[in-house]
Amino acid sequence: MTHFSENIILRKAQFPNTRYQGSKLKLVNWIGENVKFLDFENTGDIFGGTAAVSYMFKMKDKSVVYNDLLKFNYYTGAALIENSSELINYDDLNIVLSEQNDENYSLVQNIFKDVYFTDDENIFIDNYIYNLNSYFDHYSYKYAMLLWCLFQACIIKRPFNLFHRKNLYMRTNDVKRSFGNKVTWDKSFNWYIRKFTEELNQAIFDNGKQNISLNMDAMELDIDFDLVYIDTPYISINGSNVDYLHFYHFLEGLCGYEGWKDKIDFSKKHKPLKNIFNPWNYKDKISKAFVDLLNKYRKSHIVISYRSDGIPSIEFLVDTLKKLKKNVTVFSYGEYRYVLSQNGKSQEMLILGYD
């Protein structure tokens, strides 16, 4: 079996650096090393996020199914995992960056004025979406790739890299800052689109397998995986959760520009999408969601990324897995084996269930 790092050297392809809550990019080699003794080919990354883990498995020549509930993430999977050869060229960039300013494409300028980006930046975003929707096939990899570049540009230009508050003033006010990076925020969209295009093109490779990207609830997938990788939204012991739809609603809106307005919750200043129930966001619902999910995938090798202070507890997950799999092993990042943290610090964990 070839290792991730060796493969990178052989292929020169490289996963782009992204800024996303809960990304496992820093842990992928560790995850790959800990599962390499298992026999598997068909692999599901069913809470895929940035696709960092899918990409690691793609590098290892597995056949990968990337999945995420959010549409904007689906495009990440399409661009980086399903796509094996398409690249963005100068003509594509010239088209998508050309100034058209169609009056029907003014949603961001109107609804999000003073919320996340400056007026000029809002015009750029409306215009970019107009060009994408007018000149690119929505089912093409180029469409997914050019959207991905826009998402990365939007994220990097945001304080905290999120869309959870109306806080453009943090960028524009002339104050002394103890966080963030005004230079990073203020570089132009145009500059970032070109930068991310290069990074994305460099990440594309063919592993000779069929890889696909899906946009479904992980509970609704109907695929038999040899190995399923599970990295759900995290709820900490004090109950604070990561609601991905709420944190990234702006990007989700860009994926469905035409129907976007009707889905916005206008009662809130930062104009998020209306909430959609998801059990992974609720501390009183998440344990049952885990039991159902692990049962659903009981025929697969199960690999769970987790945090030592999560709800439900590691012990709960291990007990649940032990009812389904012959072997259950728990690893903690940076430690030889899992020991309950003495200083209460949250540790990155990996839980394996296999027969």
Query: Do the strands 301-307 and 348-354 form a parallel or antiparallel pair, or are they unpaired?
Result: antiparallel
Cα 333 to Cα 349: distance, rounded to the nearest angstrom: 6
Q: Which of 4, 15, 40, 47 binds ligand SAM (CB under 6 A)?
A: 47
Range in contact with ligand SAM (rule: CB under 6 A) among 64-72, 143-151, 181-189, 190-198:
64-72
Query: How near is the Cβ of 323 to ligand SAM at its closest, in Å?
Result: 22
Could you tell me whether strands 63-67 and 42-45 are parallel, antiparallel, or unpaired per DSSP bridges?
parallel
Phi, psi of 137 (to 5 degrees): -65, 125
For residue 94, the minimal CB distance to ligand SAM (Å) is 31
Spatial CA neighbour of 41 closest among 14, 67, 61: 61
Contact call for residues 46 and 230 (beta carbons, < 8 A): yes
Q: Which of 69, 108, 200, 349 binds ligand SAM (CB under 6 A)?
A: 69
Binding mask 127-166 for ligand SAM (x = CB under 6 A): ----------------------------------------
How far is the CA of 239 from the CAs of 62, 290, 346, in angstroms?
A: 36, 16, 14
Q: Is 77 in the site for ligand SAM (CB under 6 A)?
A: no
Length of the chain: 355
DSSP state of 164: S
Segment interacting with ligand SAM (CB under 6 A) among 66-74, 94-102, 123-131, 149-157:
66-74
Q: Is residue 280 near ligand SAM by the rule CB under 6 A?
A: yes
Question: Can residue 244 be called a binding residue for ligand SAM (CB under 6 A)?
Answer: yes
Per the structure block, which two tokens stand in for 21? 């809550």
Closest CB 64 distance from ligand SAM, rounded Å: 13
Report if residue 58 touches ligand SAM, rule: CB under 6 A. Answer: no
- Nearest distance in Å: CB 48, ligand SAM: 6
Give the Cα separation of 54 and 191 in Å (integer): 28
For tokens 């998402």, the residue is 151
- Asked if 214 interacts with ligand SAM (CB under 6 A), we say no
Give the C-alpha separation, 24 to 234, whole Å.
Answer: 13
Query: For ligand SAM, which stretch binds (CB under 6 A), given 68-76, 77-85, 102-110, 317-325?
Result: 68-76
Query: Binder to ligand SAM among 56, 68, 123, 136 (CB under 6 A)?
Result: 68
- Asked if 233 is part of the footprint of ligand SAM (rule: CB under 6 A), the reply reads yes
CA proximity to 215, closest of 17, 29, 65: 65
Query: What is the longest distance spanned by two Cα atoms in the chain?
Result: 61
- Which of 82, 92, 121, 231 touches ligand SAM by CB under 6 A? 231
Q: Closer CB to ligand SAM, residue 70 or residue 349?
A: 70
Instruction: Supply 332's token pair.
Output: 């903690």
Which one of 3, 8, 19, 23 is in contact with ligand SAM (CB under 6 A)?
23
Minimum distance from CB of 46 to ligand SAM (Å)?
6
Give yes or no for residue 20 binding ligand SAM (CB under 6 A): yes
Residue among 31, 56, 65, 70 that touches ligand SAM (CB under 6 A): 70
The CA–CA distances, whole Å, from 163 to 171, 192, 256 equal 13, 18, 17
How far apart are the C-alpha atoms of 58 and 64, rounded to whole Å? 6
The torsion angle over the Cα atoms of residues 206, 43, 354 and 330, rounded to 10 degrees, is 80
For position 22 contacting ligand SAM by CB under 6 A, the verdict is yes
CB of 21 to ligand SAM, least distance (A): 7
Name the burial class of residue 271, with classes exposed (0-12), middle (13-18) and buried (19+) by CB atoms within 10 angstroms of its CB.
buried
- Binding interface with ligand SAM (CB under 6 A): 20, 22-24, 47-50, 52-53, 68-70, 73, 217-218, 231, 233, 244, 278, 280
